[in-house]
Amino acid sequence: MHLRLTEEQKMVQETIRKFVEKELIPLENEVLRNEREGRPSLPQEKVKELQLKAKNAGFWGINTPSEYGGADLGQMMQAIVTMEISKTFVPFSFGGSADNILYYCNEEQKKRYLIPTINGEKKSCFAMTEPGAGSDTRNIKMTAVKDGDEWVLNGEKTFITGGNEADFVMVIAITDKEKHEKTGRDGVTCFIVDRDMGWRSEYIHTMGEWGPASLIFENVRVPEKNILGELHGGYKLGLEWIGFARWIVGARAVGAAERLLQMAIDYSKERVTFGKPISKRQAIQWMIADSAVEIEAARWLVLNAAFTLDQGEDNRHLASMAKLYGSNMGNRVVDRVLQIHGGMGYTKELPIERWYREARLWRIYDGTDEIQRMIISRNLLKGHVHIGDFI
């Protein structure tokens, strides 16, 4: 049992940290200004410039298999990198990657979708959530009806990340109504659908800067060759996509909370009330201490979930724990940090209020708090995991 990062992992962590401090954090004021004025956070040219710098530094496809030109550093490194990147709200990804389920493409699909996505030539999104089917994924209504060698899709997906920018979508639809009604799991299929096949997206305005989309399908015809994976095997792919996303949310919360806590520590030493810095006040000290303990606990839940996946083991229980605790930890920390900053924390001059709005989303998407609690308790009550097991 070794509860320390390897020298290689530490080196990668430090390199990413320096990249964030040098290239991303200095852009925060520009991002805040652009967002206040209703413009994109960063121009696309700037994003590409940053990705090129990262690529030249050796960070391209952090977790993409080497056969596709990626670094293939594993899930532990993915967690560490995500924590470091999340210390800023500047929207950035290293590029060279694709959704985990896109690797189920057959050889022809890989040429048309997987490789262009990895190379940054195409953008994808995943669509399972519907207006009446969020956490209850069994309640999806979108249908796909066979017509010759094509499937005709009808329905709506909502709150789809990247849906406004995507060139194609991996969408879940019912292909066998009878099977689906019996189990809620069977009879659904995942289709790869190009935008030019006829679906359209509509922007959804939210309290944060996250701009998801509604995707509308009206008699969209999709060729049989665009089925991803197996016919009626879409539910499994959907759960695999969601399962990976869950612990990543926890990693994002850890990174953001670390940055926020450091802001609170620095400010508490500068802010003077009644003749001394507020860092001398017990109330402030306890908020700092509680935040530090909770961040550390969340970090190890995330790393354990990632490590388990690297071992080829089922990490769904751990992913739910990392998501539940990490997202709630992030909400508590940003609330304390805003409280420590007082009125200044509530203004748009500092990024705290922006993080405050973003953090509230962590407890909703990729499975709500309530869903994570249901999963965790169900696993325990049914004996899938046991109290005291090293998991």
Statement to judge: residues 347 and 221 lie in one domain = no
Type of residue numbered 209: E
Q: Which two tokens stand for residue 275?
A: 């003749």
Least confident of 127-141, 193-207, 310-324, 369-383: 127-141
Statement to judge: residues 219 and 252 lie in one domain = no
Statement to judge: residues 254 and 362 lie in one domain = yes
CATH number of the domain where residue 88 is located: 1.10.540.10
- Alpha-carbon distance 283 to 38, whole Å? 38
Statement to judge: residues 302 and 364 lie in one domain = yes
User: Which residues are CB-contacts of 106 (< 8 A; sequence separation ≥ 6)?
Assistant: none
**Taking the mean position of all CA atoms in its chain, how far away is CA 386?**
28
The rounded radius of gyration (Å) of the Cα atoms in the chain is: 22
Q: Is residue 386 part of a domain?
A: no
Mean pLDDT of 325-341: 98
Mean pLDDT of 226-241: 92
- Alpha-carbon distance 104 to 240, whole Å? 11
Among residues 211, 192, 210, which one has the least CA distance to residue 201?
Answer: 211
Statement to judge: residues 172 and 273 lie in one domain = no
Q: Is residue 129 part of a domain?
A: yes
Statement to judge: residues 135 and 190 lie in one domain = yes
Statement to judge: residues 176 and 205 lie in one domain = yes
CATH number of the domain where residue 226 is located: 2.40.110.10
pLDDT for the residue numbered 106: 96
State the total domains in the chain. Answer: 3
Among residues 269, 255, 258, which one has the least CA distance to residue 302?
Answer: 255
Mean pLDDT of 107-132: 94
Mean pLDDT of 163-179: 95
Statement to judge: residues 154 and 197 lie in one domain = yes
- Alpha helix segments (H runs only) across the chain: 7-19, 28-36, 44-56, 75-85, 107-109, 115-118, 177-183, 234-270, 282-310, 316-341, 343-346, 352-362, 369-381
Q: Is residue 238 part of a domain?
A: no
Which pLDDT tens digit goes with each residue over 271-304?
Answer: 999 999 999 999 999 999 999 999 999 999 999 9
Would the pLDDT of 62 be above 70?
Answer: yes
Cα–Cα distances (Å) from 363 to 48, 253, 360, 370, in that order, read 30, 10, 6, 9
pLDDT for the residue numbered 45: 87
- Alpha-carbon distance 235 to 185, whole Å? 6
- Alpha-carbon distance 281 to 277, whole Å? 8
Q: Tell me which residue range forms the domain holding 375.
A: 244-381
Statement to judge: residues 159 and 271 lie in one domain = no
55 pLDDT band, cuts 50/70/90, is confident
390 pLDDT band, cuts 50/70/90, is low
Statement to judge: residues 280 and 209 lie in one domain = no
- % of residues, the chain, pLDDT over 90: 72
Q: What is the DSSP letter of 110?
A: I
pLDDT for the residue numbered 4: 82
Q: Is residue 389 part of a domain?
A: no
- Alpha-carbon distance 136 to 57, whole Å? 42
Show which of 80, 97, 114 is a domain's final residue.
97
Q: Is residue 292 part of a domain?
A: yes
In sign, the C-alpha dihedral spanning 46, 47, 50, 52 is negative
Give me the chain's average pLDDT, please: 93
349 pLDDT band, cuts 50/70/90, is confident
Q: What DSSP assignment string belongs to 239-258?
A: HHHHHHHHHHHHHHHHHHHH
Show which of 232, 266, 284 is a domain's final residue.
232
Statement to judge: residues 148 and 71 lie in one domain = no
- Alpha-carbon distance 304 to 315, whole Å? 9
User: Which residues are CB-contacts of 95 (< 8 A; sequence separation ≥ 6)?
Assistant: 51, 54, 55, 60, 61, 120
Cα-flanking dihedrals φ and ψ of residue 223, to 5°?
A: -65, 150
Distance between start and end Cα atoms, the chain: 13
Q: Which two tokens stand for residue 139?
A: 């309640």
Mean pLDDT of 166-186: 91
Q: Are 127 and 142 in contact (CB under 8 A)?
A: no
Show which of 232, 265, 300 is a domain's final residue.
232
Q: 332: phi > 0 → left, psi -120 to 50 → alpha, else beta; which?
A: alpha
Statement to judge: residues 205 and 256 lie in one domain = no
Helix and strand numbers (H, E) in the chain are 13, 10
